[in-house]
Each structure stands twice: as structure tokens, then as C-alpha cells.
Structure 1
Amino acid sequence: MYKKVLVDFPALDQASQFTAEKLKQIRSSLDSALQASPHKEKITVVAVGSYGRGEASESSDIDAYIMFDSDRAAADVIANELKEIEKILNSHVLKETGSTGTFGADVCIRFTDMLSNIGGKDDSNAQITRRLLFLLEGTWLYGEDRFRQYRLELLSRYIKPSGADGKIARFLLNDIIRYYRTIATDFEHKVSDQKQEWGLRQVKLRFSRKILYFGGIVAIAETAELPQQQTLEKISDWFDHQGLERLYKASPDLPQTAQVLRLYEYFLERVSKPDVRQTLEQLQKEDRDTCEPYCDLREKGVELSEVLAEWLKEKYPADHQIHHALIF
């Protein structure tokens, strides 16, 4: 049903179709390239970002990383496979991945590392980013079955079978909240200390990062009354759907759902225009109030926040666990 609804939102529909076709091509290429590898059953390639959200375009890079299920260093065991993966990603997606080191065809981690130190002193920004994006907007490029198995294993670190039935997945919710606040804090560091571009990054905070966060809230709220084992399985099912789709799936008839889609359509349509995107990429913070595209999208971002707040109140009664859990 959601795919049919997108027909009324051309920018969302075009991005969804573009992403689906690109993912199909990349998956096919990786499957062929790794078919003969003796280590293929230990390799999983994950995409997040615009390719995970289903809203990629020709101007998008691909935030990807590799998981290698071995105690031995990947560079020593699958050096040829890593080169092949990088070659394929670069051939399908021309824009280079950002330089933070969190993502890229040369980033290879062990899944067991993703399970470790959740909330601990060694839980770095890179680690929490890979972990939460894996859950909230991740999709597979290679190794679909392992990707789904890993997601269930990771969720089981948050949702214990021994936990009380009918209770909200508070550990997971707290980590999602923490990550969303980390994004905002990290943004200030990147633009103030590292002098990275400000305008487009700011607009994304007001739209795509907000839906990332809210989509996680929806998945947790929708499973609040279930037994623990069902909560684990159902949240994993909810994460099969992208953020906007979760809102639609949870409440397709709420008027606020259509409003959210319209506002996000407007954002996507605007930033897909080369002149607008270039203006935002070059915008300095001190010039923001005289930049028409930015001021326009800032207002729409405020409206999106208001509509999402209304959606939450309309969808879940006042005594629903999600309201208390978001504050305390």
C-alpha cells in the first residue's frame, strides 16, 4: 500500500524507484563477484544513509561498511574480496563517501564488536552510529540472511527474554534517544571545530535525521504491550520498513500522516534541485537568514516537528507507555 501512496509524491516515488534499482544492481554485482570466494559465508555488506532510507539519487554517496565474521584481520584474509567490493561500489555510485571514517568500502568490522560496550566507556561515536543506523535504516548489499540474523542478535542485547512482558523496550528507546542527541551534538563539533559544510547538513537534521529518530519511536511504541519474545521479533519486522513507511503503516488514516509525507516530499524535491543543493552546501551559518532556500526549509522543518508531535498524541492515548518513556 505504501508504494501505491508514493505515486502522489513524485520526489519520494522517484527516489524510491532509483534506490530500488541501484540496490538491485549492486546486490547482483556483489553476488557474482563473491560467488567463488571461500569466505563468502562470513562476509556481509551493509548500507545505511540515503540508500538505507530509500531516497537516494545521482547526487548521493553510499554509506556502507563490511562485517567479516572472523577473529582474524579482514585485511589478511579477504584482501582481494575487499578490493572487489570497493570496486563495485565505486562503479555503481560515483560520489565519494564522506571522510569521517565511519563508513566506506574500506571499513570492515566484526559483528561481535557491534554487540560490545553498548552504553559503556568504549562505545565510541563511530560504534553507536554504525549500530543504530544498522537498526534504524540499514539494508543489506550482500548476505541478506546474515544481515537479518545479526539484526535479531543485536536486538536481543536490548530486549531480554527474561524481561517483563507488556513493557516497552526502554533500553533500546534510550539508546535511540541518546543517538539522536549525539547527532545534534556531533553536528556542532563538525561545523565548528572541523569546519565542515553547514547548510545542507543543518537541513538534513531538520528532516531525514528527525524521521530516523521518530521511526524508531514508532517501532517501539507499536510493540509496547507485547510479550518480550514477540517484541523482539516484531521490532525486527518494523525495521524492515523505512522510517516514513513505519509512520504510514502504523496509522495510514491519520491526517498528520499525509502532512508528514507532504512536508518530506517538499524537502526531498527542494534538495534534489542542483542549484538549491549547491546553495545549501556553500551556505555559511552567519549568512543563513538571507538565504531563501534555507529559510524556507527551516520553516518547513519547524512545521514537521509540530506535525510529528501531533501525530504522536493522536496515535497513542495519554496513558500509553511511550509518552512517559520519552520524558523519563
Structure 2
Amino acid sequence: MNIERFSKFKSLDAAYKHSASVISSLRRDLESALSESNLKDRLTVVTTGSFGRGEASAESDLDLFIFFDSDKPEDSLLEEKKSIQDVVDRYVKKPAGDTGTFGSEAVVNFSEMLQNLGGDKDFNVLLTRRMLFLLEGKWLYGEERFKAYRTDLLNKYIKAGDPERQISRFLLNDIIRYYRTIATDFEFKVTESSKSWGLRNVKLRFSRKLLYFGGVISVAETAFVAQADKNGLIVEILDKTVLERVQDIGADNPHTLEILNIYQDFLATIECPKNRELLEVVTKDNRTNSDLFLQMREKSKDFSKVLDNWLKLQYPDNENNPHPIHNALIF
């Protein structure tokens, strides 16, 4: 891990280093806290969200969930859950959200992640955990199990008998479905659940969009790779944060710098407590009265254009050898 990779971008650099430092401390302390547990070999603790993306600050909460590989009831984990929460509280002051999707009480048997993909029991919470686990997940405890789980899940999407030298449309379609679900759920959360509108809208325009983009380019990179090598390559790509992927894959792409500069401005804006307060009170009805929101909305349009330009330059859709990602994103 090159901890200095974003050193030219003040806000990105600070967030990247803060995320890495907290994750390192959590890994060390969780290893110690769970060392005496009889269930320690059945537990895997995963973080997603801003810490998983390497863009957390002191104001960030920690999205986590626990894989419990056992037939024992969840009640048998009471001591372990308390130990995990105690460790988290040492380093992260803001509590996790109230949806139940994340936090030390969010316990999942990994087998649930492998069942009913796209079926009638593939509820939003399962889709959310599955996609975030793949696209931005980082292990906090149980590294080897985490890696094995990710490989097992990818094997559900990228199967041994799939056609050679094509992208995984199954995986891509689920990434697309997740992103569209986020956009659709946003309306529900702000209208039916009375969640704040302004800050959520800005995050949707930047961090959620970038997460989606990071999934798309992960799939695109496997387009002309032999089937036997696809899974290993995409695991290697997904081990990186989204910004690491953009920077490494697009090392020679001139639009990479534009992406980093725009995202740097986004992080700098929402890291400022005053800006967060201003955005928190923005509603759908009064949004045109907020100069800050209008500025972020215009920047988000530029962000979309730059991401599109990056994708087109990185994966040319020329007549002689068209890259399949462009057709697959539409059809």
C-alpha cells in the first residue's frame, strides 16, 4: 500500500491516511479483543462506506457487518458483539445509521449472500450488503475468511463455463441494479422516512456515483481476459479502493487527474462542518435558495462528464475492435 499516493490532493490524502490508520488500529485491537472467544474462527468483521473507500474523516461513522459462519443462534455472540463495539467506539465517535443494515448488531451468515441472487427473496438489504462487500469492503477481522468469501461470491457471478473473452454481464447487471436501487431508494428515504435531503443528494451525486463507476471499470478490465483468469484479476482489482483503481488503471488517462481534482473538491466541501450544516437543511423545495447546493450540483454534472470521458478513452469503442462495456451498459 502506497500511503503517499494521494499526497498532491490535500483532502484525499488526509482522508486516505485517516482511513488507513483507523483500519489498522481496528484490526490490531479486534484481533486482541476476540482472541479468547470460542467463536473467533467463525467470525469475520467487514467495513464498507467511507472507511472502505478510504475517504473517512473524524466526522465519519463506521459501516460494518459481521459474518457468523455457524448454526448457533445470534444470541451466542452477545459478548463478541460487545467486544467489537467497544473497539469501534475507541476510534469512531459517530454511531452507525439506524437502518439495521450496518453496525455490531448486523450479523449475517455468509451462505445468505450466495443464495437467491436476483430472486424473489433478494431483498434490498441483501443486495446492499453483497454489493458493498464486493465493491468497497475491507476486512477488520478474519482476513483469510474475507478473501475466501469474496472469491466464493465472485464464483457465483463469473462461472467456469461462461464464454471466453467476454465481460461478466451477470455481475455488471447486479452492479447496475444496485446503483439504480440506490437512486430509487433515495426518494423513499427522504419522503417516507424523513431523512435529510441536501447532503444525501450531494453524496449520491459524487461518492455513490464513483462507487458505481468503480464497479463498472472492474468488470470492463476483464473483457479480453481468459475465463480461467477473470476471477483472480477482478479480486486483485476489488482489493483496491475505487480511487486506487481509477488511478492505477487510468495511469495514462488524462481524465484521471480531472476525476481526482473534482473528487478532492467534493471531499473538502463535505468535510467542513459549516458546509455540512448548510447542506443538511437543504430540502427538495428550497434547494434553489442554497448557493452551496447549486455549486455542488453543477460540479456533479462536470463529474459525470469526466467519468464518461475517462471510460470512453480507456475502453475505445472503435469499429474494428469495440469494447463490450459500452453496449453492455445500455443493453
Q: Report the TM range for the smaller structure's normalisation.
A: over 0.9
Is residue 89–residue 105 contact of structure 1 (8 Å, CA) maintained in 2?
A: no
Who is 1:103 aligned against?
Answer: 102
Who is 2:159 aligned against?
Answer: 160
- Secondary structure of the equivalent of 2:156? helix
Q: CA RMSD in A?
A: 1.1
Who is 1:26 aligned against?
Answer: 26
Q: Which moved more, 1:119-128 or 1:281-290?
A: 281-290
Q: What is the Cα deviation at residue 74 of structure 1?
A: 2.2
Is residue 86–residue 106 contact of structure 1 (8 Å, CA) maintained in 2?
A: no
Distance 1:61 1:38 in 2: 29
Distance 1:158 1:208 in 2: 25
Who is 1:112 aligned against?
Answer: 111
Is residue 12–residue 267 contact of structure 2 (8 Å, CA) maintained in 1?
A: yes
Q: Which moved more, 1:237-246 or 1:128-137?
A: 237-246
Is residue 2–residue 245 contact of structure 1 (8 Å, CA) maintained in 2?
A: no
Q: What is the Cα deviation at residue 37 of structure 1?
A: 1.1
TM-score by structure 2 length?
0.97
Is 1:322 matched up with 2:321? no
What amino acid is aligned across from residue 327 of structure 1 in structure 2?
I
Is 1:11 matched up with 2:11? yes
Structure 2 residues not aligned, in runs of 5+ = none
Moved over 2 A (4+): 1-5
State the Cα deviation string for residues 184-239 of structure 1 (Å, max 9, x = none): 00000000111100111000011000110000111111111112221111101100
Distance 1:51 1:73 in 2: 29
Is residue 279–residue 293 contact of structure 2 (8 Å, CA) maintained in 1?
A: yes
Is residue 44–residue 142 contact of structure 1 (8 Å, CA) maintained in 2?
A: yes
- Secondary structure of the equivalent of 1:245? helix
Is residue 26–residue 88 contact of structure 2 (8 Å, CA) maintained in 1?
A: yes
> What is the aligned residue count?
327
Distance 1:162 1:302 in 2: 40
Is residue 2–residue 249 contact of structure 1 (8 Å, CA) maintained in 2?
A: no
Who is 1:73 aligned against?
Answer: 73
Is 1:147 matched up with 2:146? yes
Is 1:257 matched up with 2:256? yes
Q: Quote the sequence identity (%).
A: 47
Q: Which moved more, 1:281-290 or 1:15-24?
A: 281-290
Who is 1:55 aligned against?
Answer: 55
Q: What is the Cα deviation at residue 249 of structure 1?
A: 1.0
Q: Which moved more, 1:303-312 or 1:280-289?
A: 280-289
TM-score by structure 1 length?
0.98
State the Cα deviation string for residues 76-104 of structure 1 (Å, max 9, x = none): x2221111112211222110111111111
